[in-house]
A and B are shown apart, each in its own frame.
Chain A
Amino acid sequence: MKSPSALRILVPIIIGLALVAAGGGLYPAAGQPFSLVNFRGEDVTINARGLYYWDTVSSAAQMQANDAVTLFLALPLLSVAYRLTQKGSLRGKLLLTGTLGFILYTYITMCFGAAYNPFFLIYVALFSLSLFAFVLSMMSFEINSLTAHFSEKLPRRWIAGLLFFAAAFLSLAWLGRIAPTFLSGTVPLLENTTSMFIQAMDLGIVVPVCILSGVLLLRRRPWGYLLASVGLIKFLTLGTAVSLMALNMARLGVPVSPVELIIFPGMTLAGMVMTIFLLKNVKEVQGGK
């Protein structure tokens, strides 16, 4: 299980840039949020402080929760996974790929979801670097022999079930948010964003991956093991971020649906349990590299 040498350059740069980007988002700043009615007739409250000055209070609360997860969970995990990968550990490589998936998703959403700010080029760089690092890491697995590295005791059906549940939940939740916008005279709840970027990302990329990896895992195909492993680790970090986002929004008095407060943390907990089962059922390669 050799790791591409380019990752030795890309991963440390990603860690450095993500430290700057997440640290900048969390850096305390004074200011008083203010309300305005945007040109589409939607009431929004502008954050009016710090890096996320032109975002709404709700968006800023979500991005800062994500920054905290990036700083205190994803980056330490990425560093540990990187060290383990260097030692030839398959578990480390799965963790590395999944965490790179989380960083990639995070900075795609920051590129499209954060109101243009002075850190824009850093977000673009992180999107680009993590995309190429993720692809390199995915392609470095010896895919045909991967199935042999997982124990028979791996709870494939449970993992596939969780992936299908995540796909169904995301589809229903986001289609439920898009559907009312087709009613005549309805103002879509975009706050001050241009489009429904999270819905586009989740419905266009995440849902098909969940379904595909669940199906392939049930059929014991090598790609199923890889995609499901990467998906679970990405969900663990992303789920923690989304759960913290909901809690942070509730703390700041932003209305949060009970579904978001219950289902996301529930899915994160289930994802955490499944990730532990998955990593316990990985058989390491003798002799490292």
Chain B
Amino acid sequence: MKTVSFSIWASYLIAILAIIYSAAGLFLSNKSQPERVITPQGEEVTLYARGLYRNDSQFKGGILRGTDAVTLFVAVPSLWMAARKSGRGDITSKLVLLGIQAFFVYNSASLALGAYWNEMLLVYILCFSLSLYSFIMLFQSFEMPTLVEKIRPTMPYRWIAGFCAFSGLSLLIWVLDIITALIQGKPPAHLEHYHTEITYVLDLAILFPAVYLAAFQLWKRNPQGIRLGALLLIFLVFTGLVVAGQSVVQAMDGIIHTPQEYAAYVIPFILLSLIALGLAFALFRNISPS
């Protein structure tokens, strides 16, 4: 129980830190004009040139602020509510909390390592550290025999397994980007002035294998797959919201993508998020509360 109570208190701290950095990212703005710079490779990049993300590109500035909006208005309240309900010993809330904490690990790691240096760096690092260790402890705190007892025989293992395997394919779009760049002998599109692309790293190194591990475990009706599958479904719900938020803020900044780009990078993630929401409900309905 000690590990659960640490994760719950850590959740409140993560929520406070996330309010600070997401509000700063979303609302700080000195209203200057975007400025153009040249990368060492000779590529011209337009900087966002305002607020916390002034050194990020105009393309990524909108992405970061869109994510901040979802973090502030959806993820933080969800984290707070899930932490409160988990404190009362509700197992489905604990699974939801696990998924939301996974979102915060991803979000704070992306900001600490992938956003251009800004004054919030220490807040990002603190939030990353807290959410990572809290996530690990919460994940380990599940007593599998207790969870197994609560799983109803009607649990749609194979539907969720199939969905995990299908949604994992969407991450291959990054491999396509990288291979296209390798064939063309140049850096991937949208690398801009960044040292590397953190989304490729996190999605391909962690998310991709985790999704297929969950699919495998669920297909075999292994209850470990319920823990991993539940957290991934919640994470995917947030991914869809974040992609939608990013596209809205980018559009407000004047960045309108081509229909092909929306079809490849935006709509699939939103659709997957909606299906993930439905399957998350199905999964939680098949876990007995008592």
Contact = CB atoms under 8 A, between A and B. Distances in A.
Given A120-B178, A178-B122, A204 B196 contact: no
Nearest to B122: A178
Interface stretch (A16-24, A62-70, A72-80, A185-193): A185-193
A38 B40 contact: yes
Contacts of A131: 205-206
A195 B112 contact: yes
Nearest to A191: B195
A190 B128 contact: no
A2 B121 CA distance: 42
A46 B40 contact: yes
B12 interface: no
Interface in B78-136: 112-117, 119, 121-122, 124-126, 128-129, 132-133
Interface string A187-228: 010101111110110011100100000000000000000000
Given A115-B195, A200-B112, A54 B41 contact: yes
Contact of A203 (B125, B188, B196): B125
A113 interface: yes
Interface stretch (A121-129, A231-239, A258-266, A272-280): A121-129
Contact of A116 (B114, B121, B132, B197): B197
Contact of A194 (B47, B128, B196, B209): B196
Contact of B201 (A127, A132, A190, A199): A127
B71 interface: no
A196 B193 contact: no
A200 B126 CA distance: 9
A194 B178 contact: no
A199 B125 contact: yes
A131 B207 CA distance: 12
B246 interface: no
B117 A182 contact: no
A181 interface: yes
A46 B42 CA distance: 13
A188 B41 CA distance: 21
Contact of B128 (A114, A178, A181, A204): A204
A213 to B, nearest CB: 13
A78 to B, nearest CB: 19
A192 B192 CA distance: 13
Contacts of B187: 116
A192 B193 CA distance: 9
B248 interface: no
B191 interface: yes
A200 B209 contact: no
Contacts of A31: none
B258 to A, nearest CB: 24
A128 B194 contact: no
B24 interface: no
Contacts of B116: 194-195
Contacts of B208: 128
- A112, A190, A192 — most chain B CB neighbours (10 Å): A112
A124 B201 contact: yes
B195 A112 contact: yes
A114 B191 CA distance: 13
B180 to A, nearest CB: 12
B115 A128 contact: no
Given A39-B47, A112-B201, A114-B196, A188 B117 contact: yes
A283 interface: no
B146 to A, nearest CB: 19
A128 B121 contact: no
Contacts of B41: 54
B188 to A, nearest CB: 7
B55 interface: yes
A197 B124 CA distance: 12
A118 interface: yes
A40 interface: yes
B182 interface: yes
Contacts of A203: 125, 129
Contacts of B175: 121
B282 interface: no
B204 interface: yes
Contact of B129 (A111, A193, A204): A204
A36 interface: yes
Contacts of B16: none
Given A115-B195, A128-B204, A194-B114, A200 B40 contact: no
Given A38-B40, A112-B113, 9 more contacts: A39-B37, A46-B40, A116-B188, A120-B200, A121-B204, A124-B201, A125-B205, A194-B114, A204-B126
25 contacts: A39-B38, A39-B55, A111-B196, A112-B198, A116-B195, A116-B197, A120-B196, A125-B205, A127-B201, A128-B209, A132-B209, A181-B117, A181-B121, A192-B40, A195-B121, A197-B112, A197-B113, A199-B121, A199-B125, A203-B129, A204-B126, A204-B128, A204-B129, A204-B132, A205-B132
